[in-house]
C-alpha cells in the first residue's frame, strides 16, 4: 500500500508541474501532461527505471480509464439535444468525413507505401481515423468554447467520427456475437429509463443524501463500461451516450457539473494523459523516424484536406474553419485502443504498434498546439463565455466546499 501511495504522489506531482508549465506557456494542460509523460518515460527508460513509473499497474490503468470515461461523459453533457437537432447536418457530415478520409488514406498509405499487410494496413486506417474526444473536450473547457454552439458542434462531430471508428473496428476484426446484441439491448434500455430514474433520485434524495447523483451516474457509467468491455467494445462509448441523455438535467445544475468536473480534471485525467505520453517509445521512433513521419503526415493531411472543404460549407470565418479542422485532426483515446487491440490480436507487430501509438499521440499535440496558438476563435468568447482562468478555478473550488 505504501508503494501505491508513493507512486500516486509522484504522478500527481508531475501533474502539478504540468499545470504550472501550461499556465506559463498558455498551452492546454492536457497537451503538457502528454509531453511530460513522453519525456519522463524516455529518461526513465534510459536510466533503466521505466518499471518504477508503474505505467501498467492495474490500479493506475483503472484510474486512467476512469478519467477517460468521466471526461467523455462530461463532454456528452455539453450536447443539448436542441443544439444537435439544429446542427445535425454539420455533425453527421463532418463526423463521417473526419472518419472516412484518414481511414482510407492511411490504410492505402500503409499498404502501398510502407509495405504493411492488408490486415495491418486496415488496422492502421482505423487507429488513425479517430478524433480525440478527451483532448478536444479538455481544450474546450480551458478556452470556454464548450459553452458556445461552435464548440458543441465540434464535440458532436467528434462523437460521430469515433462512432464510425468503433463500428468499423468491430465489423473488420471482431465477430458480431450475442455479446454485442446484449450490450446494445442493455444500453438501449438503460438510456431510455435513465432520465426518469435520475429525475426521481434528484427530487427525492438530492438534498438529503450526500452526492447520491454523483454515485448514481458513476455507477451507471462503470456498469455500462463493464458490459461494453465484456462485449468487445469500449467503456468510453456508452459514457458519451449517457452524457447526451442527461444533458438537460446537467444544464439545470451547474454547481453539480462543476464539482464532477473538479473531481475528473483535478484527480483522474492527469493519470490518463500522463500514461498516454508514457506509452510512446522514442527508441522505436529514432530507429525508423521516416515511418512515423509518413503515418503522422498521412493522418493529419488526410484529415485536413478531407475536412476543410466541408467545414467551409458550415463556417464563414477563416479562424473558425481552421480551428474546427485542426481539432478534428487530433487523436488519442480510440486510436490507442485500436492499436492495442491490433497488437493484442497479432494483427500488427510490436514495432507497428509503437509507430501507431506515437503517431496518435503526436496528432493529439501538434494540431491542437497550432490551433490554439494561431487560430483560436476568440471572437466567439463573449463576456459570459470567457476562458476560465486559474483564479476563477480556485474560486470555483472554494464555492464548491
Cell of 150: 461552435
CA 354 to the chain's CA centroid: 19
User: Across 344-348, 376-380, 382-386, which has the greatest mean pLDDT?
Assistant: 376-380
Query: What value does the mean pLDDT take over residues 269-275?
Result: 87
What is the reported pLDDT for 175? 65
Supply the pLDDT for residue 394.
41
- The values of phi and psi at residue 128, to 5°, are -95, 5
Q: Which domain holds residue 277?
A: 2-399
Q: For residue 7, what is the domain's CATH number?
A: 1.20.1530.20
Mean pLDDT of the chain: 84
Find the farthest-apart pair of alpha carbons in the chain and give their distance in angstroms, rounded. 63
- The answer to whether 138 touches 156, Cβ cutoff 8 Å, is no
Stretch (H or E) spanning 323: helix 318-327
Most confident segment among 180-184, 260-264, 307-311, 362-366 = 307-311
Question: Domain total for the chain?
Answer: 1
Instruction: Tell me the CB-side half-sphere exposure of residue 324, using CA atoms within 13 A.
Output: 32
- Supply 70's cell numbers: 468521466
User: pLDDT at position 80, please?
Assistant: 67
Ramachandran quadrant class, 48 (left: phi over 0; alpha: psi -120 to 50; beta: rest)? left
393 pLDDT tier (thresholds 50, 70, 90): very low
Model pLDDT for residues 103-146, shown as the tens digit of each residue = 999 999 999 999 999 999 999 999 999 888 778 888 888 888 88
Amino acid at each position: 500500500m505504501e508503494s501505491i501511495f508513493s507512486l500516486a504522489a509522484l504522478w500527481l506531482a508531475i501533474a502539478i508541474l504540468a499545470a504550472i508549465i501550461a499556465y506559463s506557456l498558455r498551452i492546454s494542460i492536457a497537451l503538457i501532461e502528454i509531453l511530460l509523460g513522453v519525456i519522463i518515460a524516455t529518461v526513465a527508460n534510459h536510466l533503466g527505471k521505466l518499471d518504477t513509473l508503474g505505467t501498467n499497474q492495474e490500479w493506475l490503468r483503472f484510474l486512467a480509464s476512469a478519467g477517460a470515461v468521466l471526461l467523455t461523459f462530461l463532454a456528452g453533457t455539453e450536447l443539448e439535444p436542441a443544439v444537435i437537432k439544429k446542427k445535425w447536418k454539420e455533425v453527421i457530415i463532418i463526423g463521417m468525413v473526419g472518419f472516412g478520409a484518414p481511414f482510407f488514406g492511411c490504410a492505402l498509405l500503409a499498404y502501398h507505401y510502407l509495405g504493411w499487410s492488408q490486415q495491418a494496413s486496415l488496422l492502421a486506417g482505423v487507429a488513425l481515423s479517430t478524433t480525440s474526444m478527451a483532448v478536444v473536450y479538455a481544450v474546450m473547457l480551458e478556452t470556454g468554447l464548450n459553452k458556445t454552439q461552435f464548440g458543441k458542434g465540434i464535440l458532436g462531430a467528434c462523437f460521430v467520427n469515433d462512432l464510425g471508428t468503433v463500428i468499423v473496428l468491430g465489423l473488420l476484426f471482431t465477430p458480431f456475437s450475442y455479446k454485442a446484441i446484449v450490450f446494445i439491448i442493455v444500453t438501449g434500455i438503460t438510456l431510455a429509463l435513465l432520465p426518469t430514474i435520475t429525475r426521481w433520485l434528484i427530487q427525492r434524495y438530492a438534498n438529503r443524501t450526500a452526492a447520491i447523483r454523483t454515485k448514481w451516474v458513476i455507477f451507471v457509467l462503470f456498469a455500462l463500461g463493464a458490459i461494453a468491455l465484456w462485449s468487445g467494445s469500449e467503456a468510453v462509448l456508452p459514457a458519451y451516450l449517457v452524457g447526451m441523455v442527461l444533458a438537460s438535467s446537467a444544464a439545470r445544475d451547474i454547481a453539480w457539473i462543476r464539482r464532477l468536473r473538479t473531481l475528473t480534471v483535478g484527480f483522474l485525467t492527469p493519470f490518463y494523459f500522463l500514461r498516454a505520453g508514457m506509452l510512446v517509445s522514442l527508441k522505436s521512433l529514432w530507429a525508423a523516424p521516416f515511418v512515423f513521419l509518413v503515418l503522422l503526415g498521412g493522418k493529419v493531411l488526410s484529415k485536413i484536406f478531407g475536412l476543410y472543404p466541408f467545414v467551409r460549407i458550415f463556417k464563414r470565418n477563416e479562424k473558425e474553419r481552421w480551428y474546427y479542422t485542426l481539432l478534428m485532426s487530433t487523436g488519442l483515446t480510440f486510436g490507442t485502443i485500436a492499436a492495442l487491440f491490433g497488437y493484442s490480436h497479432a494483427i500488427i507487430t510490436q514495432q507497428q504498434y509503437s509507430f501507431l501509438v506515437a503517431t496518435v499521440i503526436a496528432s493529439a499535440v501538434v494540431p491542437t498546439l497550432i490551433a490554439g496558438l494561431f487560430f483560436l476563435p476568440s471572437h466567439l468568447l463573449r463576456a459570459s463565455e470567457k476562458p476560465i482562468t486559474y483564479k476563477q478555478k480556485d474560486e470555483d473550488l472554494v464555492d464548491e466546499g
